[in-house]
Every structure is written in C-alpha cells, then in structure tokens.
Structure 1
Amino acid sequence: MSDDIRLSRRILLAAGGAGLTGAALGFGGAARAASGPPAPSVPADTGAIQGDRVVFPNWRDAGDAPPPPPPAPMPPSERVGFAIVGLGRLSLEEILPAFGEAKKARVVALMSGSPEKAKLTAAQYGVPAEAVYGYDQWDRLKANPAVKAVYIVTPNGVHRDNVLAAASAGKHVLCEKPMANTPDEAREMIAACAQANVKLMIAYRCQYEPFNREVVRLARSGEFGRVKMIEAFNGQTTALPEQWRLRKALAGGGALPDIGIYCLNGVRALLGEEPLSIQAQIATPEGDPRFKEVEESVAFTLRFPSGVIAQCGTSYGVHESRSLRVHTTGGSFDLQNAFAYRGQRLAVSHREGGHVQRDEPVLTPKNQFALELDHMAECVLKDRKPRTPGEEGLQDLILMQAIYEAARTGNPVKVGLLANLPDGIDATRGPALEEGK
C-alpha cells in the first residue's frame, strides 16, 4: 500500500472518530483525531450533517455558481402514501416513474378497472397485492392506513365521482386538470372535501416547474418594466377517433379543456389577476370523424384589469408547439416547450447599453410530477393549503365556459373572480411556494 493511500485512509478514519464535525470537514478548521497529533485537513467532499441533510462547503471559486445541496429525501416510512386512481397513459408514462424522484411522497396503492394491468404495475413498483383495488372498492381503500392521499388520474367526466368517493374515504385528494367537466361539479368537489376535512389540490404541474416559475418571477418583479401583452399557445395532433379525449361526456370538450387550459391557467398564474372579459373563436373541420363531438382549435383573448392583453390558442390539428411569450415595456421573455413535460428553454431579451441582449438563464430542470407530488405531501404533513386548490380549478372551468359562450355568440363575455373570494393577487391560490422548492 502506498503512503498516499495510507494517508487518505488515516484522514477519513480521523474524521469519523471526530464525529464529522464542521471543522473536520473543511468548513474552516483542521481535522483532528480523537487523540494523537493533528491530522491533515480532510477533503471538502466528505460532507457534514446539519439538521436532516448532509451539506458540503462550496468548492467553487467566485467565477462559478455554487452547486446546489444534495437531495435530502425523507425516509420511505415517513413519506406520504399515495394511491394512484387510474392506470392510463399518464400514470404509467409519467406519474408512477416520478415517485422515483419524489422526496416526500411514495406510491402505496393502485386503483384500476383492469386487474391484470394493475397486478403487473403493482409488482413493478413494489405495491402489495392487497393494496390493489377496483373502482368499486373504495371501502377497502378507506381501511388502508398507509394511504393518506389519492391522485385522481381518470377521464375528466368521472373526476367528480372519484373525488367525492375519496373524500368520503377520508383521504386527501390530488386531482388531474381539468378539475371536472362543469363548474357545478367542481363546486360539489370543493364542498365534499371541505366537509370531510381533507385537502383538495389540482395538478397544475407547470405552476411548480422551475422555468415557468422564473417567468412568473420576472414578470412580477418589474425588472424589465410592466407586462403589456402575452402570447400563449399549446397545440398537438390527435389521430385516434376512439380516444376518450374526443368524447364530450368524458372530456367535457376538445383541445380547450385538455391542452388549452395550460394557456389559460398559465396566463392567470403569471399575472395573479383574473380577466375582465373574453373573446373567442372556434374552428373545427367538417366531416372529420375525430371531431364529431368536440372542437379542434380555439383562439381566445383575455383582457385583464392591469391593461394586459393575452392572446391564447390551442389546437388538436397542428404540429406540436407549446410556447409562452411575455412582452414588457423593457424586454421580452420567450419560454419554449412551456407546457411540455420536459425540454423548457427560456430566453430573455432586453436593452443593454446601445444594443439588445438576449440571455438564456441556466436553470436546473426538475420532474414536474415529482414536484407537485412533494408539494401535496408537504401540505398533508404540515397541514397547509395547496398552492393550486380546488378554487383554482373552479375558476378555470368558469372561464372556459365563458370562452365557449364568446365563441358561440361572437360577442365579448364579461367575467371576473368567482364569488366568495377576496380581491387581490392570487386570490384563488394558496400560499406562495418557497424559493428552490
């Protein structure tokens, strides 16, 4: 064994004997063994425990940004247990894999109308066979103490019944968007959860995503002047006529409630205001079997109390495009892939001296589904109101109803804040998110 290897081992053993104190770990002091002569300084990469996480000193010089702290996940036994209700494409492709990146949530149960699929999925994610339920087995799920919350990932038209069943079972509820098919259904869901004293959160994942949050911060900070206009578009193609999203009873509508809601909710979340009026148009190809019941494309304009005008569009008939552009008196923000699951890129253009500068902030991408799962878990653990509660989902349903009305009549529709909520910024939302979360 070389002298260097012996020395390295002696350093680490000395650090262990000293209890991994801050001084022994390169936080400003020298490493010292429990007895004997002083040991050489311990490498900064060893780390030290502070509270419930391991931390390291910043090893970078002033020319580089300091690295983020390492993850500090809760022990699995202390995380909030979720039951996933509905094992369709979104659950299997995005939500269940996201638990691998979650720090405060874990999957402990599944509910599905397909027993064989549920059995296979349970085995893949370590869910006990006895914690797999059919849609008619809410009483069994109620009796499972490991389930603290349920995530409703079924078609929109059955959200109401699922949420009412979950509330009756005494479980907190995270429900996919759109919250329901109608505002009246949403009001029932809010009332049921309030009566059962359980939390209700709507899964507006973009409000937790780092790039979208940065656009909100920039817009509200006034750093580049006042926001004047916003452009939001969310479009994609659809091919299978039998897909449930093309059936009005299950989806409530076409492109608008499925993907156009991201534009509507994104603009509202960005400003924190509610629109005063809406204008809209709908275009649907005649004779296309895909669109016998629902619309293909919608364009709508929102006018806000601050004077901001938002031009929004959504379509099931265009090449995938998901963008958000904010125009201010002193700059513009362009967020590409704004409403996608991943791949966001932000560009900020502004005047710098005698020229226009275009910056691309470097942000750390994070799994949006893991972020919203952890937020819901934290609300359960700390008894907090979610950032995106039922009132947030209800307001979007009221506004989408107004968009359909404006398109039908060809006239502007006056709207505002839903009743029984105070005026002001973010009236339909819970407490602001902490930085870095």
Structure 2
Amino acid sequence: MQTRRDFLQKMTGSVLALSALSSTAVAACADPERKNDSPVLRVAIMGLGSYGTRVAEAMKTCTKAKLVGVISGTPAKIKAWQTKYNIPEKNCYNYENFDRIKDNPDIDAVYVITPNGLHHNQVIRVAMAKKHVICEKPMAVNAKEGQEMVDACRNAGVKLLVGYRMHFEPHTLEIIRMRKAGEFGKVLFFQGLSGFIIGDPSQWRLNRALSGGGSMMDIGIYSINGSRYMIGEDPIWVTAQEPPKTNPMKFKEGVDETIQFQLGFPGGAVASCLSTYSLNNLDRFFLDGTQGFAELMPSTGYGPIAGRTHKGVLDQPVTTHQTVQMDEMSGILLEGHQPIVAVDGLEAVKDLKIIDAIYQATKSGQKVELHL
C-alpha cells in the first residue's frame, strides 16, 4: 500500500527532475549556438558583392557556422553589413589591413569571394595570418597559382577549402550513392551543359585580368567538376573547340564566349560538355550506364535542384546550398570530418589543370593528355 510518505517522496523527485529539465531548456534557448554539441566556425567574408551577400543570408540559419567579420574595399558596404549582421567594429577590415586578422582570436576562417584574379594573393595573405581559408571557385586563374595557394596554406598549418556547394547537395549525393552501389552498371557517358547569356559588358567576369578567362572560368567549371564526381574518376585526356565569337567587342582576346570540350576517363567513359555565355536554359547533367541513367536539370543552379533516374523522380530534400555547405565545412575545419566528395585545394587544382588543358586544346586543335 502506498503511504503518504511514499507519495510525497515521489512528488518531490518529480518536481526536482522537472526543474532540472526546465533549467537545461532555458539555458539552451538563451544560447542559440548550443543547438548541438559541435563547435561553431566563426567566419569573416571577404568580398561583399552579390554572392557574398547570398552566403551571408544563408549563414543566418547555420547551426555550426557564424558570420562574425567582413573584409571589403568599400566603407559603405562595411557599415551596412555591420548593422545588418551585427558585426563588431573590431572584426571589420579593408584590403590593405586585413593581415591584422592574425591578432584577432574571434575569427577562425576567411571566405574569399572576390574576382578570380585576386584569389591567389588574398588566400596566401590569409594563410600567412594563420586563418583557415575558404575560397570561391575557380580557386585561381591557372593550376600553377592554385598549387602555390595549396602550398602556402600547408606551410602555414591552415586548411584550404573551396566553395564546391554541389558536393553537399542531396540530389547530387544520391546519384553518387547510386553510382557507387553499381545501380547504373558500367558508366559510359556524361553530358554537362553549363551556360547563360551574360549581361553588363563592363563587369569583371568579362575582364581577363580579373576573371582569368571567360565562360569557362565562371560556368564551365561546373561541367568539369560535375563530370568528375558523377563518373567517379579523373579524366586522362581532353579535346576542345572554340567557335567564332558572336561579339568580339564584348568577348575580347582571352575571354572565351563558348567552348565545347570532351573528356576521356580511364574506365572507358567519355564526357561531352558545353560552356557558354551566349545561351540560356543550359543547366543539365546526364549520366548514362549499361543498366540505367541519371539526369539533373537544373543541375547546379542555386535551386531547387531537380532530377530523375531510370528508377524514377529523385525526391531528396531541397536545401539552401550555402547553408549546408558552411555547416559541413565547419565540420571539416574544426572536427576533421571527411566529405563524400573532396572540397579541398588539391581538388580545385585538378579542375584548374583541366581548364589549362582545355585552353591549350582550343589553340592547338590536338588532344591533350592529363596527369591529375
């Protein structure tokens, strides 16, 4: 029989347990960074243009990464970002003084989102300041500069990652899973179509000194990188053709408008790809094997990504790419996580070697052997 004393003891225990649980919940709510037990990557964004803004907005919903600093050559942008993202004055720098981040313990990494031609110098300076680096793609304007960036980060003891957001995208990862499981049979063919009609002729993407080229250095790299992660191999040769430019005034010497290129892979697969600044509606990947196929369309846009395979429509969750990317990169930089598809500097150098070879092939008209 339950006595009054037994009842009171049980009630006292329940109240104490509830009190402890409530205290834990209140503490978690008071500290939004305690959404999980993982450390939070504190990031400064360098380059406050349209894509930098997209990343900043996406980071609002990150659980493992936080925007804490800015680097810009435009004082008005710095002030606006300070207000919008609650960034302290001590975490704000310009392109002349950002080396001082070495003495700022509140910044773990810098995300370099500036024109391609500036990456080399800026990444090396960040590395010398002993901060981890995330760099937008293409990482550099050629493989030589890319390797120098990799070496600088290694020598400084910091990590170098590249903004390959598609390496974390659910539809893409499902196709990679299926390919690894042998569900397509022997993969024999990949097609990558990457292009859009570029606008303002005065923008930096059409300035060779800043971009390093034309469409290939902007949108074509998606098909290059996509062929590698979709097929699951690195190519061993490339051929390429550049048709006459439709607007030589807009697409000046060294700024490619359209390039078609083909890649050969050691397992026997071939890839046929198109990179252009003169056609819209080109955002499609197609993978074909002896037992099935996969298609992504759109394949690399900001979303939503959509796809299907011989088994039906892909129904993976739609995500904000940059949110997932930054949370996953936090795990890589701070916890040593290994991504399904590499996103480090050496991965980027491989893409740059392919780009170098594509440009070489367009000039020579010959097949170029690749050694990645």
TM-score calculated relative to the size of structure 2 = 0.88
1:364 Cα deviation after fit: 0.7
Q: Contact conserved, 1:182 with 1:397, CA < 8 A, in 2?
A: yes
Higher relative contact order (CA 8 A, sep 6+): 2
1:87 to 44, 48, 51: 48
Distance 1:100 1:411, change over 3 A: same
User: Contact 1:119–1:132 at 8 Å: present in 2 too?
Assistant: no
Contact kept in structure 1, 2:175 and 2:230, CA below 8 Å: yes
1:372 lines up with 2:325 in the alignment: yes
- Matched residue, 1:303: 264
Cα distance between partner residues in 2 of 1:330 and 1:305 = 19
- 1:2-401 equivalences in 2 (<5 Å): 17=15, 19=17, 73-74=35-36, 78-92=39-53, 94-293=54-253, 294-349=255-310, 359-383=312-336, 387-401=342-356
**Is the alpha carbon distance of 1:75 and 1:300 closer, same or farther for their aligned partners in structure 2, counting shifts above 3 Å?**
same
| Change over 3 Å in CA distance of 1:333–1:17 after alignment to 2 | farther
* Aligned counterpart, 2:7: none
2: distance between equivalents of 1:16 and 1:275?
A: 65
Letter in 2 for 1:167: A
Counterpart for residue 364 of structure 2: 409
1:409 corresponds to which letter in structure 2?
Answer: S
2:46, 2:239 → 1: CA distance?
36
Residues 351-382 of structure 1, C-alpha deviations (whole Å, 9 max, x = no match): xxxxxxxx112111112111221122112222
Amino acid at match of 2:304: G
> Aligned partner of 2:204: which letter?
W
Secondary structure, aligned partner of 2:242: strand
- In 2: Cα distance, 1:17 partner to 1:340 partner: 53
Q: Deviations over 1:314-368 (max 9, x none)?
A: 1100013211111111221111111101111111125xxxxxxxx1121111121
Superposed CA deviations along residues 33-89 of structure 1, whole A, max 9, x for unmatched, are xxxxxxxxxxxxxxxx9xxx9xxxxxxxxxxxxxxxxx983489x411101001111
Are the aligned partners of 2:287 and 2:293 in contact in 1 as well (CA < 8 Å)?
yes
Specify whether residues 72 and 346 from structure 1 end up closer, same or farther in structure 2 by C-alpha distance, changes over 3 A only.
farther
Q: Shift in Å at residue 220 of structure 1?
A: 2.1
1:175 Cα deviation (Å)? Answer: 0.4
Deviations 1:77-131 (A, max 9, x none): x411101001111111x10011112111001100000001111012101111232
Residues 1:126 and 1:145: Cα distance change in structure 2 (over 3 Å): same
The C-alpha deviation readout for 1:366-403, integer Å capped at 9, x for no partner, is 12111221122112222456731111111111111111
Q: List runs of 5+ in structure 1 lacking aligned partners.
A: 1-12, 21-48, 54-70, 351-358, 418-437
- The residue type paired with residue 318 of structure 1 is L
Q: Is the 8 A contact 1:166 1:173 kept in 2?
A: yes
SS of 1:233 mapped into structure 2 = strand
Kept after mapping to 1: 8 A contact 2:127/2:133: yes
| Aligned partner of residue 245 in structure 2, secondary structure | coil
Say whether the 8 Å CA contact 2:189–2:269 is kept in structure 1. Answer: yes
Following the alignment from structure 2 to structure 1, what is the Cα–Cα distance between the partners of residues 48 and 166? 22
Counterparts in 2 of 1:328 and 1:188: CA distance versus 1, 3 Å: same
1:159-202 C-alpha deviation (Å, 9 max, x unpaired): 01111110011000000000101111111111110111000001
CA–CA distance in structure 2, aligned partners of residues 385 and 110 of structure 1: 28
CA–CA distance in 2 between the matches of 1:180 and 1:98?
24
RMSD (Å), alpha carbons: 2.6
What displacement does 1:137 show? 1.0
1:247-305 deviations in Å (ceiling 9; x for gaps): 11111111111111011001112233111111111124254422013011111111101
Q: Number of matched residues?
A: 351
Identity of matched residues, %: 35
1:127 to 1:328, Cα distance in 2 relative to 1, 3 A: same
State the secondary structure of the residue aligned to 2:62. coil
Distance 1:219-1:384 versus aligned 2 partners, 3 A rule: closer
What are the ranges of 5 or more consecutive residues in structure 2 without an aligned counterpart? 1-10, 19-23
Report the Cα distance in structure 1 between the residues aligned to 2:331 and 2:303, rounded to whole angstroms: 23
Are the aligned partners of 1:336 and 1:345 in contact in 2 as well (CA < 8 Å)? Answer: yes
Supply the distance in 2 between the matched residues of 1:221 and 1:128 (Cα, whole angstroms). 49
3-state SS of 1:163 partner:
helix
Question: Which whole-Å CA distance do the structure 2 matches of 1:257 and 1:187 have between them?
Answer: 17
